[in-house]
């Protein structure tokens, strides 16, 4: 997960992501955020003895792709199986509601550090397997605003072992100080790389000071120094609080026998107990203007509003409003001259977030004014083009690539159909973790009337309830 590992060994996956997302986004000019970063090849994870194995490899592979199946274990873990015949490869996605938004007061960057620890600090058998996969660029992890995921690419014969690894990541782990001291510098190398990048890559890490300011009222945030103070107890507490089977999804894609894999999932994941109490509520956004100082050279503007959860009747209209706003932010010359907006799709639970990385020398006040004017404009019916809401609805289905035929989609060199399907499934997983059943949500989107979209903008995205955070470097930045 150092700089070189972020760049090498994953070009084919990133190439496909850019191709398929660019096609799906159509006229929406957005850039990829949260690109996967490869695990380091020189990692030396250690831990205690792991468990035994079964072999859910396909004795009789299907002659053609089967329809995906979804179900939920008794402990709340959601499972999706996506059999894809013709390639001797299986991918496993484990998604957890454990992003930057869940970080406690005073410990910015804890989610990302926990991700690194959960990748490597496993029992011996599982740690050795991950080490081998990471050396072959088959293991990956990523932390986003309200979501964290871990993926593995393995052969069908390794599938049971990979299932065991993903299940162990949800269990109570005995994190070690030795691994923490090794992984903290690696997490900071990613910030170093993002800080120097010619692309707006630091916006993800700026979520850490945003959360501290907007949720916890803390504004002096030297993230590099604070990261070095993170303890094993901090990591254990964060993992225990957020890595819950009832806030987790598992997706298996590739060449496998569904019935056999279901039995293996029951063995490895079924023994995980559902917590007896609901997760603690996230602190409410603090309205008003805040300035968060951090020890990184980039500057960022965050504007956030409290909004209802996905079950609320207004949520689909807010999703369409987020798409309209994303399109305008990406194509407006005045905004583009001042900063680069991160992609947004109303996929943070209870929060509508705008995240813009300011360009060097840009006036943050001017940037804020343009963004807020753009939001206010969306409350006016005349600001919406005829057919725009229908187009945005179609875009959501395109983004999720509903019913896409990968046999007819040209793929970049070295990108397998399993890899392509996995990237599509990752997009589905990220949305379904917040939106719930995607088919049902798409039907709700179809029922949204144009006046409801500009209506929810005027109802929720109002200046008095906005939490506006300017993240800027404290002087001097080393």
Q: Which residues contact 317 (CB under 8 A, 6 or more apart)?
A: 448, 452, 453, 455, 456
Number of H helices, E strands in the chain: 17, 13
pLDDT in tens, 347-374: 999 999 999 999 999 999 999 999 999 9
Confidence of residue 447 (pLDDT cuts 50, 70, 90): very high
Arithmetic mean of pLDDT over the chain: 87
At residue 410, the pLDDT reads 86
- Distance separating alpha carbons of residues 230 and 103, to the nearest angstrom: 12
Order of strands across the sheet with 351-358?
220-221, 288-294, 467-473, 299-306, 351-358, 339-341
Residue 220 belongs to what H/E stretch? strand 220-221
CA 243 to chain centre: 15
pLDDT in tens, 43-52: 333 333 333 3
Q: What are phi and psi of 131, to 5 degrees?
A: -60, -45
pLDDT in tens, 12-40: 333 333 333 433 333 232 222 333 343 33
Lowest mean pLDDT: which of 230-244, 338-352, 394-408?
Answer: 394-408
Whether the upstream peptide bond of residue 476 has omega within 30° of 0, thus cis, is yes
C-beta neighbour count of 432 within 10 angstroms: 23
Sign, CA dihedral 99-102-107-110, equals: negative
Confidence of residue 64 (pLDDT cuts 50, 70, 90): low
At residue 397, the pLDDT reads 87
Q: Is 26 left (phi over 0), alpha (psi -120 to 50) or beta?
A: left
Confidence of residue 212 (pLDDT cuts 50, 70, 90): very high
Instruction: Give the residue-averaged pLDDT of 97-109.
Output: 97
At residue 65, the pLDDT reads 65
Instruction: Give the residue-averaged pLDDT of 383-407.
Output: 87
Instruction: Give the residue-averaged pLDDT of 257-279.
Output: 95
Instruction: Give the residue-averaged pLDDT of 405-414.
Output: 83
At residue 296, the pLDDT reads 96
68-79: b (≥16 Cβ within 10 Å) or e:
beeeebebebbb
Name the 3-class secondary structure at 443. helix
Which ranges constitute the DSSP H helices of 270-385? 315-331, 333-338, 364-377
Closest CA to 312 of 344, 349, 354: 349
**Structural contact between residues 129 and 53, judged by C-beta atoms closer than 8 angstroms:** no
Burial (CB count <10 Å: 0-12, 13-18, 19+), residue 424: buried
In DSSP terms, which residues pair with 300 in a beta bridge?
Answer: 357, 471
pLDDT at 216 over 80: yes
Q: Is the pTM of this model over 0.85?
A: yes
At residue 4, the pLDDT reads 40
Q: What token pair was written down for 259?
A: 């019935």
Has domain 34-269 been given CATH number 3.40.1000.10? no
At residue 476, the pLDDT reads 54
At residue 344, the pLDDT reads 86
Q: Which residues contact 107 (CB under 8 A, 6 or more apart)?
A: 226, 230, 234, 238
Instruction: Give the residue-averaged pLDDT of 208-232.
Output: 97
At residue 15, the pLDDT reads 36
pLDDT at 87 over 90: no
Closest CA to 110 of 4, 197, 239: 239
In DSSP terms, which residues pair with 303 in a beta bridge?
Answer: 354, 468
Instruction: Give the residue-averaged pLDDT of 445-463.
Output: 96
Domains in the chain: boundaries: 34-269
Q: What token pair was written down for 464?
A: 């008095």
Query: Highest mean pLDDT: which of 1-10, 102-111, 134-143?
Result: 102-111
- Distance separating alpha carbons of residues 358 and 343, to the nearest angstrom: 15
At residue 100, the pLDDT reads 98
């Amino acid at each position: 997960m150092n700089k070189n590992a972020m760049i090498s060994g994953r070009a084919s996956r990133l190439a496909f992501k850019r191709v398929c997302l660019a096609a799906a986004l159509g006229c929406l000019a957005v850039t990829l955020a949260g690109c996967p970063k490869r695990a380091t090849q020189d990692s030396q994870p250690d831990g205690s003895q792991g468990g035994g194995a079964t072999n859910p490899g396909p004795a009789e592979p299907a002659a053609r792709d089967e329809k995906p199946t979804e179900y939920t274990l008794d402990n709340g873990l959601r499972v999706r199986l996506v059999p894809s015949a013709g390639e001797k490869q299986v991918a496993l996605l484990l998604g957890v509601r454990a992003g930057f938004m869940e970080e406690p007061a005073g410990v910015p960057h804890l989610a990302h550090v926990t991700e690194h620890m959960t990748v490597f600090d496993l029992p011996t058998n599982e740690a050795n397997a991950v080490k081998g996969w990471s050396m072959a660029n088959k293991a990956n992890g990523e932390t986003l605003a309200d979501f964290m995921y871990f993926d593995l690419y393995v052969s069908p014969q390794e599938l049971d072992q990979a299932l065991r690894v993903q299940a162990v990541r949800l269990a109570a782990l005995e994190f070690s100080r030795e691994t923490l001291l090794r992984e903290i510098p690696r997490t900071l190398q990613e910030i170093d790389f993002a800080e120097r990048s010619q692309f707006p890559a630091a916006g993800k890490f700026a979520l850490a000071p945003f959360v501290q300011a907007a949720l916890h009222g803390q504004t002096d945030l030297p993230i590099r120094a604070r990261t070095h103070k993170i303890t094993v107890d901090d990591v254990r507490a964060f993992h225990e609080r957020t890595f819950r089977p009832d806030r987790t999804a598992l997706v298996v894609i590739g060449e496998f026998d569904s019935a056999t894999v279901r039995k293996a999932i029951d063995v490895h994941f079924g023994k995980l107990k559902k917590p007896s109490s609901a997760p603690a509520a996230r602190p409410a956004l603090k309205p008003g203007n805040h300035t968060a100082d951090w020890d990184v050279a980039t500057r960022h503007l965050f504007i956030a509003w409290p909004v209802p959860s996905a079950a609320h009747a207004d949520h689909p209209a807010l999703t369409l409003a987020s798409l309209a706003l994303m399109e305008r932010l990406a194509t407006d010359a005045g905004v583009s001259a001042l900063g680069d907006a991160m992609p947004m799709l109303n996929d943070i639970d209870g929060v509508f977030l705008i995240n813009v990385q300011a360009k060097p020398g840009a006036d943050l006040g001017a940037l804020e004014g343009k963004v807020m004017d753009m939001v206010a404009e969306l409350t006016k019916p005349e600001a919406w083009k005829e057919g725009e809401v229908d187009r945005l609805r179609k875009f959501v289905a395109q983004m999720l690539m509903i019913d896409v035929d990968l046999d007819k989609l040209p793929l970049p060199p070295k990108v397998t159909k399993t890899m392509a399907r996995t990237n599509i499934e990752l997009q589905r997983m990220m949305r379904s973790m917040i939106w719930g059943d995607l088919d049902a949500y798409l039907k709700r989107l179809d029922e949204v009337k144009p006046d409801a979209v500009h209506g929810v903008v005027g109802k929720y995205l109002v200046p008095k309830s906005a939490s506006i955070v300017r993240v800027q470097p404290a002087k001097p930045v080393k």
